[in-house]
Amino acid sequence: MCDNKVSYYVPKGHDYRETTVKCGLTDPYGDRATCDTCASDPDISRHIDNHEANIAYDEWVTNRGEE
């Protein structure tokens, strides 16, 4: 990931406030913040998708014994 910041507008009372997150970190909604530059790069997008799939698989393996 890069050092770009991604802006989000989160509810605050009856209004919204802007918050910024470094590209690659967790956004206010629990997803990965990805700037436009990284999102438009096919290699970076493929890396992000692969990493997210690995995370999902690790969670599945960890939680499979809890059924």
Domain of 32, in residue numbers = 5-66
Record the pTM.
0.71
* Total of domains in the chain: 1
pLDDT tens digit sequence for 1-53: 789 999 999 999 999 999 999 999 999 999 899 999 999 999 999 998 999 99
Backbone conformation region of residue 24, classed left if phi is above 0, alpha if psi is from -120 to 50, else beta: left
Q: Which residues contact 7 (CB under 8 A, 6 or more apart)?
A: 18, 19, 20
